[in-house]
């Protein structure tokens, strides 16, 4: 069992073994001496919020302006739009975008967004920009996307400001400029846009466009988290778990992980499961640990899949079941997760949960070794002493066929 980990960033993408981890001669990880339950194993930057559709109209910006259109109400809306009413044009675009009262049609949506956008209707400018960004209803054109997002941003539309900041940070449709990105994130964040608050927190956390300042990062994460933003809740949990920008407090970490986990955030589900397994900030509870880890694993979280496999392998928190262990190792291994590849290789070598197969064992060891897993390399080299040249060549061929799938 690997030492319990809380992720740095939005997720734990790699849970490599630490000095406390013992690995059997087959390559399957065994129980380590338990260290600090919040020790980091890997560092992964959180993913910024990108460009998204605007569902609120310009007037008031406090309530959704689309209607649950019946055939009659849709025709009335269309009549107003054809008379040049910009709000109706925007709403008609939304109807076509969502397939509400009419068949979904992105081209028609783009047509009506454009009519409203050309009248200066900011929300329509946002959505037209998003369409150009995604290539929906129009030919994809990042520069045209930035043009329309900027028009809306300069009118004070927070969604556009956040999206424009993202474009500057990514260099999409405009020259990359981290300072400009921060400028636009801040404008939106100060209006209360949760996505921008999260992005601004990330910038302070990693020193993008501003001097690194963990306290400022926590400040902005908290603002977004208190609005219910799952990404920000997860990051706030990370900060409390690591003691980054705030005093270390495992119970606060668990509190924020739970909020994000209950919204379906896989990284938070994984971390919450680990907390329950080790009793970090919460009473130890194997059933809860498995419950949350499984939720993350079923969403494709490779670290959770690997750990779930490990628990089935060792009978920790669940009845020992080698076939289930192999199932979860394989899911993580096929995503390119090195420790899972090594453990799956061990299963094939020992015939544990699968028929013994040295070629498959060598293949998985080889894939893990290619990612820098030195232990897997040692197991592979030891195994090669028991294989023919033809078997090794076949294993290498299989590994080469899979390697492009790895991240």
The 3-state DSSP class for residue 210 equals coil
CA distance 308 to 134: 36
Tell whether 156 and 296 lie within a shared domain: no
What are the residues facing 23 on neighbouring strands? 29
Query: So what's the pLDDT on residue 404?
Result: 55
pTM of the model: 0.82
In a domain, 14, yes or no: no
The DSSP secondary structure of 27-38, one letter per residue, reads: S-B-PPPP--TT
Q: What does the pLDDT average to over 300-326?
A: 96
Residues 270, 206: one domain? no
Distances (CA, A) of 25 to 28, 33, 81, 274, 386: 8, 18, 72, 26, 14
Q: Tokens standing for 114?
A: 């454009």
CA distance 53 to 149: 11
Same domain, 198 and 280: no
- Tell me, rounded to whole angstroms, the distance of Cα 249 from its chain centroid: 24
Residue recorded with tokens 């739009």: 81
| Domain presence at residue 84 | yes
Q: Which of 36-50, 95-109, 113-127, 385-399 has the lowest mean pLDDT?
A: 36-50
d(CA 270, CA 292): 6
277 in the same domain as 214: no
Question: What's the CATH code of the domain at 389?
Answer: 1.25.40.10
The answer on 202 and 298 residing in a single domain is: no
d(CA 309, CA 332): 9
Q: Is residue 32 part of a domain?
A: no
Residues 231 and 156 in one domain: yes
Q: Look-up: residue for tokens 């960033």? A: 9
What does the pLDDT read at residue 201? 97
**Overall number of domains in the chain:** 2
Q: In this structure, what DSSP letter does residue 405 have?
A: G
Residues 221 and 88 in one domain: yes
pLDDT at 5: 27
Among the candidates 205, 224, 246, a domain finishes at 246
Please name every residue paired with 156 in a beta bridge, in sequence order, or none if there are none: none
29 belongs to a structural domain: no
Chain center to CA of 365: 27
Please tell me the least confidently modeled range out of 18-22, 331-335, 387-391: 18-22
Per-residue pLDDT tens for 181-191? 999 999 999 99
Cα 40 to Cα 187: distance, rounded to the nearest angstrom: 33
pLDDT of residue 20: 35
The whole-number pLDDT of residue 402 equals 85
- Asked if 147 and 236 sit in the same domain, the reply is yes
> Distance between CA 353 and CA 110 in Å, rounded?
54
Q: Does 328 share its domain with 188?
A: no
Residue 392, token pair as written in the block: 């090794």
Asked if the structure places residue 367 within a domain, the reply is: yes
Instruction: Identify the weakest region by mean pLDDT among 39-53, 126-140, 364-378, 388-402.
Output: 39-53
3-state secondary structure of 64: strand
pLDDT band at 59 (very low <50, low <70, confident <90, very high): low
Out of 69-83, 163-177, 348-362, which region has the weakest mean confidence (pLDDT)? Answer: 69-83
Cβ-based burial of 374 (10 A; exposed 0-12, middle 13-18, buried ≥19):
exposed
Task: Please indicate whether residue 131 or residue 13 has the higher confidence score (pLDDT).
Answer: 131
Residues 399 and 265 in one domain: yes
Check whether residue 207 and residue 236 sit in a common domain: yes
What CA–CA distances, in Å, run from 373 to 336, 338, 364, 377?
12, 7, 11, 7
Instruction: Show the domain range for 219.
Output: 71-246
Higher confidence at residue 20 or residue 249? 249
Provide the b/e sequence for 202-225 (b: ≥16 CB within 10 Å): bbbbeebbbeeebebbbbbbbbbb
Q: What's the pLDDT at 54?
A: 72
pLDDT for residue 52: 74
- Asked if residue 39 has pLDDT above 60, the reply is no
* Residues 280, 211 share a domain: no
**Domain end position, chosen among 186, 221, 246:** 246
**Angle between the N-to-C axes of helices 338-350 and 374-384, in degrees from 0 to 180, rounded to the nearest 10:** 30
Quick one: tokens of 379?
């197991």
Mean pLDDT for all residues in the chain: 86
Q: Which long-range contacts (CB under 8 A, 24 or more apart) does 62-68 make?
A: 65/90, 65/91, 65/94, 66/91, 66/94, 66/95, 66/98, 66/100, 67/91, 67/101, 68/100, 68/101
pLDDT class of 145 with cuts at 50, 70, 90: very high
Residue 186 lies in a domain: yes
Give the per-residue pLDDT at 214: 98
Please check whether residue 349 lies inside any domain of the structure.
yes
Round to whole Å and give the CA distance between 244 and 212: 12
Residue 239's SS3 state is: helix
Residue 52 lies in a domain: no
Is pLDDT at 330 greater than 50 in this prediction?
A: yes
Out of 246, 270, 302, a domain closes at 246
């Amino acid at each position: 069992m690997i030492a319990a980990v809380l992720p740095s960033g939005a997720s734990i993408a790699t849970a490599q073994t630490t000095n406390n981890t013992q690995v059997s001669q087959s390559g399957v990880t065994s129980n380590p001496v338990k260290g600090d339950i919040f020790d980091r194993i890997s560092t992964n930057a959180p993913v910024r919020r990108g460009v998204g559709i605007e569902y609120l109209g310009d007037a008031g910006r406090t309530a959704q302006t689309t209607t649950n259109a019946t055939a009659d109400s849709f025709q009335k809306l269309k009549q107003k739009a054809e008379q040049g009413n910009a709000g109706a044009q925007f709403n008609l675009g939304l109807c076509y975008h969502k397939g509400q009262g009419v068949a979904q049609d992105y081209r028609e949506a783009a047509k009506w967004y454009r009519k409203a956008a050309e009248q200066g209707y900011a929300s329509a400018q946002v959505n037209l920009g998003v369409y150009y960004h995604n290539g929906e209803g129009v030919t994809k054109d990042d520069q045209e996307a930035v043009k329309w997002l900027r028009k809306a941003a300069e009118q004070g539309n927070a969604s556009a400001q956040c999206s424009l900041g993202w474009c500057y940070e990514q260099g999409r449709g405009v020259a990359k400029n981290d300072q400009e990105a921060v400028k636009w994130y801040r404008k939106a964040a100060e209006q209360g846009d949760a996505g921008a608050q999260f992005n601004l927190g990330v910038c302070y956390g990693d020193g993008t466009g501003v001097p690194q300042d963990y306290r400022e990062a926590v400040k902005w994460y908290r603002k977004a988290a208190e609005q219910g933003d799952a990404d920000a809740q997860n990051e706030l949990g990370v900060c409390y778990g690591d003691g980054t920008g705030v005093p270390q407090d495992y119970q606060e970490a668990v509190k924020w992980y739970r909020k994000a986990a209950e919204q379906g955030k896989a990284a938070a589900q994984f971390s919450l499961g680990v907390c329950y397994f080790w009793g970090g900030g919460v009473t130890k509870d194997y059933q809860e640990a498995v419950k949350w880890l499984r939720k993350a694993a079923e969403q494709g979280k490779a670290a959770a899949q690997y750990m779930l496999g490990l628990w089935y392998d060792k009978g920790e928190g669940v009845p020992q079941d080698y076939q289930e262990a192999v199932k979860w190792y394989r899911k993580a291994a096929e995503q390119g997760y090195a420790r899972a590849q090594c453990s799956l290789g061990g299963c094939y070598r020992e015939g544990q949960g699968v028929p013994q197969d040295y070629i498959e064992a060598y293949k998985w060891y080889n894939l893990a070794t290619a990612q820098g897993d030195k232990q897997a390399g040692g197991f592979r080299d030891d195994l090669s002493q028991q294989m023919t040249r033809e078997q090794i060549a076949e294993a290498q061929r299989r590994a080469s066929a899979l390697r492009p799938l790895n991240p």
